[in-house]
């Protein structure tokens, strides 16, 4: 299937309800979710065997900026309180299947891989606070350019937990200087979906050599005065899967999130 960037932020996709978006994904639509079902929360997914679930939970607890947990399922459950009618096996645009830290498949449906011992973690996503950035006048360059948000593996190591360890992943959004304070303020008011930036400015401070070569997502063009602003990213558990090599895991494909039924503003602290 063609995975080139797809322009999503049009009137049709913004107006979708989460249920409509999930139905389209269940039919096999594999587009990135930035700008889809505007106003509704999005979440990262990681599903691991039950004997690894405590390690993942502890990893998330110790690293709340990249891994803010919104829900944890019972073993084998395919549902989540974030959307009562959803099926976690079919309702994301694209998945990743891992064996011993190696990516083995990227299907649009993981029913063939599903196991009765899988515990799923739904982790907050920075797409959820983009409505607040836009409302405050902060440009969203990736949406303007019809691209997935760029994501980078950093040199910052997360606090390990049991068998889980690995580097922090960040997402980057270019922000003009005049809008920097608004971007920091608005995202900081939503700690359940990563909160404020972890770094602004020189990417070398995060061990990132080239902004034009993200590890996940698409490169985004900066305007001359733009400052690169970096937020902790929910792809961090995937970097931990690659580093820690659990025997099996299922995750979302970066930028192709789970669409929940909660409104974005429900995660704003004031």
Q: What is the mean pLDDT of residues 66-86?
A: 96
Q: Which residues contact 46 (CB under 8 A, 6 or more apart)?
A: 56, 120, 121, 123, 237, 238, 241, 249, 250, 251
Instruction: Give the pLDDT confidence of 97-137 residue by residue, as tens digits.
Output: 999 999 999 999 999 999 999 999 999 999 999 989 999 99
Q: Which domains does the chain have, with CATH numbers?
A: 11-127+240-264 (3.40.1640.10), 129-232 (3.30.2040.10)
Q: The tokens 């979906």 sit on which residue?
A: 193
- How much is the pLDDT for 34? 85
Instruction: Give the pLDDT confidence of 29-70 residue by residue, as tens digits.
Output: 999 898 899 889 999 999 999 999 999 999 999 999 999 999
CA 206/CA 34 separation, integer angstroms:
24
CB 194 within 8 A of CB 65: yes
Q: What three-state secondary structure class fits 254?
A: coil
Is pLDDT at 3 greater than 60 in this prediction? no
Residue 270 binned pLDDT confidence (cut-offs 50, 70, 90) = confident
- The CA-based angle 150-151-154, given to 5 degrees, is 140
- How much is the pLDDT for 12? 81
Which range, 8-22, 124-138, 139-153, 239-253, has the best average confidence (pLDDT)?
239-253
Cα distances (angstroms) measured from residue 137 to each of 12, 132, 248:
22, 9, 42
Mean of the per-residue pLDDT values for the chain? 93
The two structure tokens encoding residue 234:
């929910």
Residue 6 binned pLDDT confidence (cut-offs 50, 70, 90) = very low
Q: The tokens 């309702």 sit on which residue?
A: 91
CA 12/CA 10 separation, integer angstroms:
6
Instruction: Give the pLDDT confidence of 146-189 residue by residue, as tens digits.
Output: 888 999 999 999 999 999 999 999 999 999 999 999 999 999 99
Instruction: Give the pLDDT confidence of 86-107 residue by residue, as tens digits.
Output: 999 999 999 999 999 999 999 9
For the chain, what percent of residues have pLDDT higher than 90?
85
């Amino acid at each position: 299937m063609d995975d080139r960037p797809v322009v999503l932020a049009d009137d049709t996709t913004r107006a979708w309800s989460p249920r409509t978006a999930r139905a389209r994904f269940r039919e096999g639509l594999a587009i990135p979710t930035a700008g889809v079902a505007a106003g509704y929360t999005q979440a990262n997914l990681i599903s691991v065997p039950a004997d690894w679930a405590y390690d993942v939970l502890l990893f998330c607890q110790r690293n709340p900026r990249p891994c803010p947990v919104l829900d944890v399922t019972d073993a084998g459950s395919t549902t989540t309180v974030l959307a009562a009618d959803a099926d976690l096996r079919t309702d994301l645009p694209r998945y990743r299947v891992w064996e011993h830290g190696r990516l083995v498949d990227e299907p649009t449906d993981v029913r063939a891989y599903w196991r009765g011992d899988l515990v799923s973690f739904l982790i907050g996503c920075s797409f959820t606070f983009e409505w607040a950035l836009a409302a405050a006048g902060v440009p969203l360059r990736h949406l303007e350019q019809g691209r997935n948000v760029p994501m980078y593996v950093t040199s910052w190591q997360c606090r390990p937990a049991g068998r889980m360890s690995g580097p922090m992943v960040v997402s980057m959004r270019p922000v003009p200087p005049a809008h920097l304070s608004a971007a920091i303020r608005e995202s900081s008011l939503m700690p359940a979906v990563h909160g404020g930036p972890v770094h602004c400015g020189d990417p070398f401070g995060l061990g990132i050599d080239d902004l034009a070569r993200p590890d996940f997502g698409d490169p985004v063009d900066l305007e001359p005065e733009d400052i690169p602003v970096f937020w902790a990213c929910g792809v961090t558990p995937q970097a931990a899967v690659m580093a820690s090599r659990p025997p099996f895991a299922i995750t979302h494909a970066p930028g192709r999130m789970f669409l929940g039924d909660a409104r974005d503003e429900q995660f704003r602290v004031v």
